[in-house]
Structure 1
Amino acid sequence: MKENDLLDDCQRHLLSSSDSEDDQRPDINDLYIDVLESEFQIPLQPGWFSRRTRMERYLMLAATTAVFVVVGLAISLAGVVYSYRMGILKGSDTSMLPLISAEPLTACQETFPESPSETCQSKGCVRAAAKLIDSMDEAVNPCDDFFRFSCGGFLQKKIIPDEKSSLSRFNEISDDLQEKLRGLVEADPSDDDSPATKMVKNLYKSCMDTDRINERGLNPLKEILTQMGGWPVVEGAAWDSSGFDWHTNVYINRKLGYSLDYIFDFSVTTNIKNSTWRIIDLLIHPPRFQFSLPKEERRNATKLYNLMTVAELQEKVPQIPWLQYFNTILSPFHEIGIDEPVVVGVPDYVKNLGKLLTRTPKRVIANYMLWRVTAASVGYLTDDARDIQLKYSKKIVGKGTREPRWKECMGSVSGSLSHAVGSMYARAFFREDAKAAADEMVRYIRAEFDQILHTIDWMDEATRERALAKAKAITPHIAYPPELLEDDKLTELYDGLEISNGDLLENMRNLTIFGTNYSFKKLREKIDKKDWKNHGAAAVVNAFYSPLENSIQFPAGILQGVFFEAERPKYMNFGAIGYVIGHEITHGFDDSGRQFDEKGDLRDWWEKQTKDKFLEKAKCIIYQYGNYTAKEVNLNLNGINTQGENIADNGGIKEAYYAYLQWAKDNGEERPLPGLPFSTRQLFWLSAANVWCGKYRPESLKLRILTGAHSPAEFRVNGPFSNLPEFAKDWSCPAGAKMNPSKRCAVW
């Protein structure tokens, strides 16, 4: 490694002068001592030189001269290093040192007080150090590209498996979690298995029974298509359009366990302006037809909240029999009248769609709707049918091979019976010390966000008071609710669901019917925002913020691996899961989350001048990320669509950083990791970056940029880190470096 590729001179000196006896890096003083010892251990024998031949004498003389030259150089270099150290640490005149300016020295002096004399030698520290070393590329200058400095080894060594469209730390933890679950689910049935556990094992078994699936072939799908009136593209001229009506087919979908949302999304959901009650919602997900609202305009929740009665909707869109439509779908749980309130996401969309459905040939509509049914079914059919799906996937995300069958089945089971699977995982694998540690970090990080709210200079006092009230009201849900371990609660939750070890497609349709019924039954029920069932998906590698609950959730599945380990130093955990915790807290105050108050209701609680200042600061983030280019596909990011996640990233890492500094102040400085020449603060940044090590297939990266809400991995590191002066200071990045720009963006 070339010196100038990694660290400036100031850092190189401080990091190579460790007093730790466990440090494996060769110190120049150690080399000097080794040379002297080798000299003095040569036994001196009288007459020995005179007994040598002339050639041997010449060779010995040359060797001795070379040794003394090495010793002289070593002493000189040691003297320079010592003088350099004294100049930095004692404030001596350093003007005669070449290639070192006063500015980096000042930053170095302020950033790195002398570290503890010993590195941490625990197993947790050794493992953490090994993982960082394996991920890094120390040939990259951290002030130029911290993502590749931290993750370059990962990018070089890791190969995206054929069955994946991308590879990330999330994938690695999820794969490990799935392996653990596989062991639980494939275990022999036991009399001690709860009804929920039996259900999980039956669903998994039906998915793994490829002999039965292949034996039945396409017959399950053919039977379904027949009940829906036939698929015109298959039936050809024999298809009879006289018996087809699109809303009648929606009713059939409801009965047979398929989605109701092929034309528009019908749901019973939380009323965002009165979040303790539910309401009927017609939400249009972007973009299915030309009348849909662009994604960039859908970030304003008020724009999507258009309240009207069924009667008003009928008048606006007379082509659709709305009262009949709603009552048929809600049957047998509710019957509504023409005065029932409905939230219509995009009224013009529904109005234009009504006209479009009237003038579009029935054959076209039927082909579209039954294609959607077929596409939803293919994954549960024969290998030949699934190969067609795979070809489509190859074009869209670049994935050319299916995952192992067990992994596909485990994914389906985990997604469909998340509470039952989460219960099994929590009982077998979750460590309670992880929950206690996460609780502690949440407290520290929330305190730092409160401090930010107290000190920012662009917020008026009235808005500040409301913001503090909202921050205080955030409810954390860590790991899993205790009810998840109660068999009776799970039995009650899944009451009425039928899962057999037989037909896979039938099982999946039963799950859809059960989920739809569960949702629709709750139309008239008051919402309990702390209901354990809303936070019971424990075996998930993700984290969430709910604006309607004003809550943050960190399932048990993410409290492991690169995100969290109880045995490693706190700076590693604050950098990793702490970054995620701060990210989720900040979501409550990003461009979308800020639209909701402390109760979870859509309400404008901002004074105008403060809202204008927020939008101006958000605009900086939009422009910054919108000017980032993913070179692999030569596409710029969409700064508007990703602004919420980017604001959360920038706020989250800042909160986690200062939370760790406060923790260290309260509990004492920790020792750095062995084998790495970095301070604890630098290791915080490395841990945070390591969370986002990942790579994509070009097709997947392109799709992510065009449709996703998250920036690609490298920009989730370089973007927020470069916006923080604290990062540049800790790494002594010179002014104007890519990671220490002259212009920065900051919202929180």
Structure 2
Amino acid sequence: MERRLLVVVCLFVVACAALVVALASSNSISLLRKVSPNSEYMPSPEALVGEGREDGGPNSYIQNGNSLPAAGSLPYETCETKGCVQAAATLLSNMDETVSPCDNFYQFACGGFVQNTIIPDDKTQMTTFGMLNDKLDEQVRRLVEEPIKEDEPKVFKLVKNLYQSCMNKSLIESNGLEPMHDVLKMLGGWPVIEGDNWKAEEFTWINSVYRFREHGYSVDYFIDFSVTTDVKNSTYRVIDVDQPALGLSREYLTKGLDEPEVKAYRKYQVELAVLLGAPRATAEKDMLAAIEFERKLANYSLPREERRNVTKLYNPMTIKELQEKWTTIPWLDYINRLLPESVKVEENEIVIVTVPEYLNKFEKLIQETDARTQANYVMWRAAAASVSYMSEAVRKLQLDYTTALTGKGEREPRWKECTAITSASLANAVGSLYVRRYFKEESRLNAMEMVKDIKVSFLDILDEIDWMDSTTKERAREKANTMQTHIGYPSELLNNTKLIELYDGLEMNNRDYLMNVLNLTKFGTEYAYKKLREQVNKTDWISHGRPAVVNAFYAPLENSIQFPAGILQGIFYDNDRPRYMNYGAIGWVIGHEISHGFDDQGRQFDSDGNLYDWWEPTTKEAYLRRTQCVIWQYGNYTATEVGINLNGINTQGENIADNGGIKEAYSAYQAWVKRNKPEPRLPGLKSYSSNQLFWLSAANVWCNKYRKESLKLRILTGVHSPGEFRVRGPFSNMDTFARDFNCPVKSAMNPEHKCAVW
């Protein structure tokens, strides 16, 4: 049966391709406008109670004679453009029509994808996001592999030099382990390797931080240090100290040394030390002490669940107060040594201490821990951060560890690694090249129209809410109305002079990969820290000038949404297909980002992007009751492949945004249809209404297949629910979905009790 379905799909794709060719030579076919559909047919009484289905079979959702004219007299046309044919082929190949959409819509929409997709050895998962990202990587690759021209701006030479240095495998291999040894010596030496040559009396954790800063390594391995926007006065910047990010996620480290992932982490530490010259017995002993030290840091850290209340993390105090509270750390000197020469602070400088309790415990731990253990920990972190830029002998150890953590058995192609680091490190420069070559201006105009529609939809939903008082509702309306939108890319990316100024002082050659990366780190750190005395420009082109990514963002400190050029293509957006496909895909993403302004964290910020409680007490209580429903709903979903329940607390922000976003996108699409006209259906899917195709398009955004290890990692450490639940959760909360598919009350996709925040 499955093979027959595959054959049918393949034949359909071939037929569709032939149809496209035929259309090219035919002027008699009218190409219908790509608009969004909304035939609001009510389900039949039989469908509502589950009758009219002999066996509860999968086709009961198809609208029958009680709600649609008989076959042969259907009042719709079929879209036959290339975009429609491609959209239909994708939906059909991803579907599993043997499953009822009312039982499990994710399986119905994505079952074919899950069944037929094979995860390549170099990937942890296959997702529609990832597949579009693969396309974008290919586009960027073509740009960065072009020969350097003598007369092209220096900024684009930087891009190509970085890429070429990364691709220079023969030189990297010929250097062997020497660069790693040189780096470790430069940073003070890794005791486990140095043996008796390492001098404990010459080491302090503070001096190691200074040395790391000097040479381009992270200064955040003991205490996280940053210059960031002041959340209570978001036009200014402030110094922030926080608990560190760890080498392995807190969620694993706190479980103990017998946890499989912790065992893999420890093995990686030992094997890397041995490869670099440490005796195995010494490596086992020293790195056990180092990981126990890191486990204590993990236990002292605040878990993610407790970091969602931003007010709790805002603890301002002067440097003088820091010094009085944590006396063993020379705070004034410490901070000034990290900041650039041009930026200095005094004792009255305000610092935000995110987790004071961490500093209480850290100060005690550092006094109780010997210098050798401290140094082994921090030098391990530096060594691990350097592995990607080294020879294959070292990188093989990293891959073994990655396999244990994510299931990925091979490295991705070298060009992909090099494209990724080039895009991430020189995002504005790469983005400039990208939009000049690939971005279509019509995408920006159409996306802007959709943003406008979906914002109106949110405001309409806001008007209908009965649990908000009028004062809070008006403040919410103000926040939505003042939310800024950034689509595609800022015009400054086309200005070579501005780009050259941005990267002024940065040097890059096409040979020394590691030094290039360290130069980038030093350059980026200096740039960020120099901003301390500068006022925040919330529409700054630099922070919004990274278009070559498949993603979207809401920035609470700006109260802005951003949709880079990279996401305005592929499964998310195509101007050559009906609007129901676009509203279901990129429209849902737009609604999702708007809703982030009003999720459990976004709601803590006002319309100006400041941390401020603008909620009346009774309305806040009502809101929190509703979020508890979402937390409970998702916390009771089990990822059967790994037998783990989702974390409803950590994922609540994304889940609230998913639920609000799909509701807004659907409503906006209905409004679009009323202004225009119902749209044509898709070839091969003529039995599906435009509304049903909206839901199918939306679900296809989250078709994915994970390796078990990767799925476990996502659930334990991530803030996003796995794709299956990003479909089942929101859709089962929507009355409009149940109506469009005639789902009986109390069916899985139409539960009697639903969760709704927005």
Aligned to 1:611: 620
CA distance in 2, matches of 1:331, 1:597: 33
Tell me whether 1:275 sits opposite 2:285 in the alignment: no
Is 1:153 matched with 2:163?
no
- 2:563 counterpart letter in structure 1: F
Q: How does 1:188-207 map onto structure 2 within 5 Å? A: 188-207=147-166
SS in 2 for 1:379: helix
Alignment partners' CA distance in 1, 2:357 and 2:85: 60
The change in CA–CA distance for 1:268 and 1:106 in structure 2 (over 3 A counts) is: closer
Q: Which residue of 2 aligns with 1:236?
A: 195
2:701 alignment partner, one of 687, 691, 696: 691
What do residues 267-311 of structure 1 show as CA deviations (whole Å, max 9, x unaligned)?
Answer: 000000000000000022564422111211100000000000001
Q: Quick check: 1:123 aligned with 2:123?
A: no
* Separation (CA, whole Å) in 2 of partners of 1:732 and 1:125: 25
Please report the RMSD computed on the Cα atoms of aligned residues, expressed in angstroms: 2.2
2:647 aligns with one of 628, 638, 647: 638
Q: Which residue of 1 aligns with 2:445?
A: 436
Runs of 4+, deviation exceeding 3 Å: 88-91, 94-101, 104-117, 285-288
- 1:571-650 to 2 correspondences below 5 Å: 571-650=580-659
Query: In structure 1, what is the equivalent of residue 733 of structure 2?
Result: 723
1:100/1:700 Cα in 2 relative to 1: closer, same or farther (>3 Å)?
closer
SS in 2 for 1:477: strand
Tell whether the 8 Å contact from 1:163 to 1:403 is kept in structure 2 after alignment: yes
Aligned twin of 1:67: none
Judge conservation of contact 1:162–1:401 (CA < 8 Å) in 2. Answer: yes
CA distance in 1, matches of 2:415, 2:358: 42
Alpha-carbon shift at residue 99 of structure 1 (Å): 4.8
1:744 matched residue in structure 2: 754
Counterpart selection for 1:369 from 363, 378, 385: 378
Aligned-partner Cα distance in 2 for 1:423–1:282: 34
User: Residues 193 and 96 of structure 1: is their aligned pair in 2 closer, same or farther, counting only changes over 3 Å?
Assistant: closer
Aligned to 1:166: 125
Q: CA deviation at 1:115?
A: 5.4
What's the secondary structure of 2:227's corresponding residue? Answer: strand
Amino acid paired to 1:401: E
**Corresponding residue to 1:133 among 78, 81, 92:** 92
Please say which of residues 552-561 and 213-222 is displaced more in the overlay. 213-222
For 2:553 and 2:512, locate their aligned partners in 1 and report how far apart those are by CA, in whole Å: 34
Give the secondary-structure state (helix, strand or coil) at the position aligned to 2:531: coil
Question: Partners in 1 of 2:88 and 2:750 — Cα distance?
Answer: 26
**Distance in 2, Cα, partners of 1:696 & 1:95:** 34
Cα deviations across residues 168-189 of structure 1 (Å, max 9, x unaligned)? 0111111111111111111122
Tell me what 2:141 maps to.
Answer: 182
Structure 1 residues 295-306: aligned runs within 5 Å: 295-306=304-315
Contact 1:112-1:679 within 8 A present in 2 as well: no
Partner amino acid, structure 1, of 2:235: T
Please say which of residues 232-241 and 694-703 is displaced more in the overlay.
232-241
Aligned positions of 1:398-409 closer than 5 A: 398-409=407-418
Where does residue 43 of structure 1 map in the other structure?
none
Query: Aligned residue for 1:660?
Result: 669
Q: For residue 463 of structure 1, what is the aligned residue in structure 2?
A: 472
8 Å CA contact retained: 1:108, 1:732: no
Q: Distance in 1 between matches of 2:725 and 2:418?
A: 33
CA distance in 2: counterparts of 1:365 and 1:100, whole angstroms: 66
SS at structure 2 position matched to 1:335: coil
TM-score, normalised relative to structure 1: 0.86
Structure 2 residue matching 1:674: 3-state secondary structure:
coil
Q: Secondary structure at the match of 1:532?
A: coil
- Unmatched 5+ stretches in structure 1: 6-21, 23-87
SS at 1:521 equivalent = helix
Alpha-carbon distance between aligned partners in 2 of 1:672 and 1:503, rounded to the nearest angstrom? 55
Deviation of the 1:109 alpha carbon: 7.8
Residue 686 to residue 112, structure 1, CA distance change in 2 (3 Å): farther
Change (3 A) 1:354 1:108: farther
CA separation of 1:203 and 1:96: change in aligned 2, threshold 3 A: closer
Aligned 8 A contact 2:240 2:353 in 1: yes
Give the match's secondary structure for 2:298.
Answer: coil
CA offsets, 1:365-394, max 9 Å, x none? 000000000000000000111001101101
AA matched with 2:423: S
CA distance in 1, matches of 2:51, 2:549: 58
CA contact (8 A) 1:626 1:637 kept: yes
Deviation at 1:697, TM superposition (A): 0.5
Structure 2, unaligned runs of 5 or more: 6-18, 20-42, 251-296
1:96, distance to aligned residue in structure 2 (A): 12
Is the Cα–Cα contact under 8 Å of residues 44 and 742 in structure 2 kept in the other structure?
A: no
1:570-610 CA distances to partner (integer Å, 9 max, x unpaired)? Answer: 00000000000000000000000000000000000000000
What count of residue pairs does the alignment treat as equivalent? 661
The AA in structure 1 aligned to 2:309 is N
Q: Tell me, in whole angstroms, the C-alpha distance in 1 between the residues paired with 2:55 and 2:636.
A: 33
**Counterpart residue identity of residue 512, structure 2:** D
Q: Is the 8 A contact 2:76 2:681 kept in 1?
A: no
* 1:238, distance to aligned residue in structure 2 (A): 2.4
* Counterpart secondary structure, 2:299: coil
Q: Give the drift of 1:111.
A: 6.8
The 2-side partners of 1:266 and 1:619 are apart by 34
What amino acid does structure 1 have at the position aligned with 2:757? V
1:570 aligns with 2:579: yes
Name the aligned partner's letter for residue 176 of structure 2: G
How much identity, in percent, do the aligned residues show?
55
Look up the equivalent residue of 1:596 and give its one-letter code: F
**Distance of 2:154 and 2:187 partners within structure 1:** 34
Q: TM-score, normalised by structure 2?
A: 0.85
Shift of 1:667: 1.2
How far did 1:117 drift?
3.2
Correspondence for 1:674 among 662, 666, 683: 683
Shift of 1:118: 2.0
Aligned to 2:569: 560
